Structure 1
């Protein structure tokens, strides 16, 4: 099959992941048998990959790996589970259940809020894995398709100021999530002791070998770009008229991951395909996914994501195929503007008269720290809260739907446990990192543990140059896979090795421009020296309201990335 001499299907020897999926019996593998093997704390052979489709990654504590090797012990294998929470909404009863499990059955006792607008358990040992899934199932939560080559947790703008539009958008996020889920019964059979039945396990959307690579979807409500649309394969930008949702602009082909030293990989912004009414949402979502399913690269996983398919076959060819499969025509895109992408902290009153409190959770790590008992505070609030919680894609927490008469009680608990803190700088609020070491097996450098001290130094630099009221969108990721979304930051650090990072500059506050690498493989001290000089120039020569990223582009410190595929590495 070809169009305009562009090959639509990549020929060649399939990657081994394709064999794993083909032989998995629709994601069952021998996971159930592996669970009974107490000789190892990990999963063996293909199951190491297959458990990802069930929402888990096998990890170990890399801080103690060498010591365990000396003791002739295998690494301390455990799993990280990522829950499926479309739009990040969770009830107080659900919160109490996950809090209890984390306290009693994880190595770290923490709940981690992630950039995928959900929570993660870290450090769950093999004997507790089945209990973890069954505990979540009892309160209506699962981890189906939050990892692996499938459509993952669907994000949705989380700040519910425009309550009616947000409610509708969230409902669409849930519908899209359900529509694109795998149909196999493997999850229920393995983890919930579901009855094994004769079934063909047809996968009409994902296909019997699922997608070529992971796939991410968002629903976003302008002017907030809090889900970072350009980090995702498929995005529905809400268009409202007179306070009512009428449809979406559809953006396709964003993604931030790359591989060090491989210039065939790069971050890419999503393309705007056009506007669709609400009645077309599910068929368009399905058409985009199935087109990527059929045309995506199953030979080279490094080039398997949707962004590379668009680059290879052409945006217009891909768009036309989506229209053909969905039986629709995209209309001209409706106008919209992104003005910010951070969370709005503090109290906000919704149009329904209820109040919503957004609290800052540094790195999304909910745990009791000295003088800041975040985990206990969330638990105590959950015991009395009459609304719900909303997790944000920026790792923060919204205590939502608080009636006026309960506002004082919630605020008192939040202050008592450090969820509301005296003075958190704007810079700290605009900084983010992935988990990285010690648990992520892909990590090359520190991120979560590095960020707080690095922010301290940037705060000092801003103060030194009389910019204490300003901030820079600053993000750190421990490897080039993009979880911390550093490739949409004004200053983005990408881990290269222990204590070394690639420094990227030139993104913008709205999240619509990719930064370019400014220096490669440099230390923290070198990074801070560079930022000291550049912040000094920014303080001296910036235009009114000009952000740091726009300043370094305007003044020629670095060239803007116009087309990431063609000029990202120039």
Structure 2
């Protein structure tokens, strides 16, 4: 493809000398921020350049430049950390960040508010804890997620080994990361050309997400990934994996041709075939994905345009063998693994973290209390794709003591919260995300509180409804597979989506557009009343909305 047809980002990647660009030089100057070209390369190294949007207007009025800050995203396969690794992030958040840690929907940590001059020190310290930021962002395979439940046994151990093996095989091999952040020996970029066989010099057309799940348990929203990998059990062994392809949540509000999509069944593979088949799928996206228009560069559009049959035939051609058909999947749960979990001689404590933000607030010192407890009791820490965390592998007496110490600080187990609160998620949005066009994390607690009040009033307080909010259409909190999704359209106004199912295998549909923030819950009230009055026995809210249809739901809402 000629450079005339490549998007601007593609040209930057091609000229970056395998992700070096001008990062080394720009880290050494006194500027408060990176150049536009460097910003694109920086993403591959796990960092987004942002600015404090709360300060923009006043700084502009004063004739000053923006207050530039960096967001650093780690790569933590499956979300599993040791106690020491967790405590490194805790310290870095205070030393260089804004004093908070953000659990993402990709089962990893983000640090916000890091200044450019502290960026290298922060990344170096993360690496010293044996965690990398390479692959946290950028047009490559990002953090690979999986079920966060701390199962014990040969089956779970085997799935974890396959996950880690796949992470290693799909990681970028360029030496640029070590040169820039760890002062490693410089090598000729042409050496990287021979090493970077999976990605090539332009890497992938867009970000690429892989998720694992155990059959029956879709807590990881496996259908939202470019490749979903579902493990099948054969006693204590792994029988193999059903692969799903073509999922992705992002869309552009102004372009109706863009849309979220759920991954489709593709093939069944044995554990020994897994890595080769996944790599073949990635290379198909590498070679055929859209590099002209980034709005259509995710693999879901390639799967949609060419079809599953073409994709399978192309994969078989590259592998030199036929692929087995996918197995039929049955799902029993998609809930996060929260509360006190008894597991043989171990106890795990799954804690709810509102919108994934670990911070100290007046009367609720979550960050300090967790750091003290983790330093004292040394649990394994497991982050979840629903932005919560599990303190795992505790002796029963240690779990009792830890639970009591947290409770004394006001930090309670999930049974103290409403079902709708436990199933709520929001993206960070303002003031850090440059893509946000409306508030999300900062206002979502008020939405949930109002929704809780209405549900209680209608006798629906115990209904486990999933509700998610994002500050733009990109869908980072996966609002399109929530029973209720709020998606920011402009400042203070949101689209409402209804009707996804709890299993995460059906998208919702747009119900209302441009609803003012204060009208979100009042707009839903007539729908909730209809659900109370006309639902079938045991029918979940999303299934009810899907069954009666959006037009019937709209009829229930008074025209203002």
> What is the TM-score normalised by the length of structure 1?
0.93
Q: CA deviation at 1:273?
A: 0.8
Per-residue Cα deviation, 1:97-135 (whole angstroms, up to 9, x for no partner): 1111111111x2101101010000000001110110111
Corresponding residue to 1:381 among 373, 376, 379 = 373
Structure 2 match to 1:568: none
Give the equivalent residue in structure 1 for 2:77: 86
The residue number in structure 2 matching 1:346 is 339
Q: 1:248: which partner in 2?
A: 241
1:20 aligns with 2:15: no
Say whether the 8 Å CA contact 1:500–1:522 is kept in structure 2. Answer: yes
Q: How does 1:272-283 map to 2 (within 5 A)?
A: 272-283=265-276
Tell me the CA shift for residue 502 of structure 1: 0.9
* Deviation, structure 1 residue 559: 9.0
Work out whether 1:306 is the aligned partner of 2:299.
yes
Contact 1:154 1:217 survives alignment (8 Å) = yes
Structure 1 range deviating more: 436-445 or 398-407: 398-407
Query: Equivalent residue for 2:135?
Result: 145
Residue pair 1:269, 1:514 contacting (<8 A) in 2 also:
yes
Quick check: 1:152–1:217 contact (8 Å CA) kept in 2? Answer: yes
Query: How far apart are residue 525 of structure 1 and its match?
Result: 3.2
Tell me which residue corresponds to 2:362.
370
1:51-450 aligned at under 5 Å gives the runs: 51-106=42-97, 108-161=98-151, 163-199=153-189, 200-202=191-193, 203-351=196-344, 353-421=345-413, 423-450=416-443
d(CA) in 1 for partners of 2:41, 2:132? 16
The alpha carbon displacement at 1:11 in A equals 11
Structure 1 counterpart of 2:492: 499
Q: 1:34 aligns with which of 8, 26, 49?
A: 26
Q: How does 1:549-560 map to 2 (within 5 A)?
A: 549-558=542-551
Structure 2: unaligned runs, 5 residues or longer: 554-560
> Are 1:161 and 1:348, in contact at CA under 8 Å, matched by a contact in 2?
no
CA contact (8 A) 1:12 1:299 kept: no
| Alignment match, 1:6 | none
Specify the SS of the correspondent of 1:443. coil
SS in 2 for 1:324: helix
Q: d(CA) in 1 for partners of 2:5 and 2:115?
A: 36
Contact residue 553 and residue 559 of structure 1 kept, 8 A: no
- Is the CA contact 2:350–2:391 (under 8 Å) kept in the aligned structure 1? yes
For the residue of structure 2 that corresponds to 1:21, the secondary structure is helix
CA contact (8 A) 1:506 1:516 kept: yes
1:136-172 superposed Cα distances (whole Å, 9 cap, x missing partner):
1111011001111100000011112454433322222
Alignment deviations for residues 66-95 of structure 1 (CA, whole Å, 9 cap, x no partner): 111122221110110110000000000111
Matched-pair contact (CA < 8 Å) for 1:55–1:144 = yes
The size of the alignment, in residue pairs, is: 549
Q: CA deviation at 1:444?
A: 0.7
Whole-angstrom CA distance in 2 between matches of 1:468 and 1:207: 53
Residue 454 of structure 1 deviates from its aligned partner by 0.2
Partners of 1:11 and 1:464 in 2: how far apart? 60
Shift in Å, 1:507: 0.5
CA distance in 1, matches of 2:527, 2:385: 29
- Deviation, 1:267, is 0.8
1:566: which partner in 2?
A: none
> Any gaps of 5 or more consecutive residues in structure 1?
1-8, 561-570
Distance 1:20 1:111 in 2: 31
- Counterpart Cα distance in 1 of 2:240 and 2:481: 26
Q: CA RMSD in A?
A: 1.7
